[in-house]
Amino acid sequence: MKLPHCFSTSILAGCLLLLSGCGGVSDAPTLVVVKGKVTLDGQPLETGNVLFVPIDGKGRADAGPVVKGEYELKCTAGEKRVEITSQVEADKPAADGLPDYKSRIPAKYNRATTLTATVKSSAENTIDFAVTSK
């Protein structure tokens, strides 16, 4: 069976339109490596997390683990508010009998952080943080 010329031309044009959308410029943000050391009361923070949040509220937040006082993550460039968290098991279990956890890091370094950092797009970003438990 032979298809009408206008029908086959329409199919070909539709396929070309679909293919033209493939492999285009990515909308993904450019990420740069940020690394550094985190100390708590002068000692390397054994475990925790570091979170970089855009100060202007636009864009994504980026996070990475802290292991033996060091972290490395990929992050968007710009001015950031930095949150550092680390938890340990509490002395007493929760009311339901399950383990309870408490923060090792004061709120001024996480929920109510005073830490900031500038992540540069064209340079190596080594940013260290020295926090205290008080």
- Segment 99-127, tens digit of pLDDT: 778 889 999 999 999 999 999 998 789 99
Instruction: Find the domain containing 122 and state its range.
Output: 32-131
22 within some domain: no
Tell me, what's the pLDDT at 115? 97
Q: What is the pTM of this model?
A: 0.75
Tally of domains within the chain: 1
Q: State both tokens at 12.
A: 């070909």
23 within some domain: no
120: CATH: 2.60.40.1120
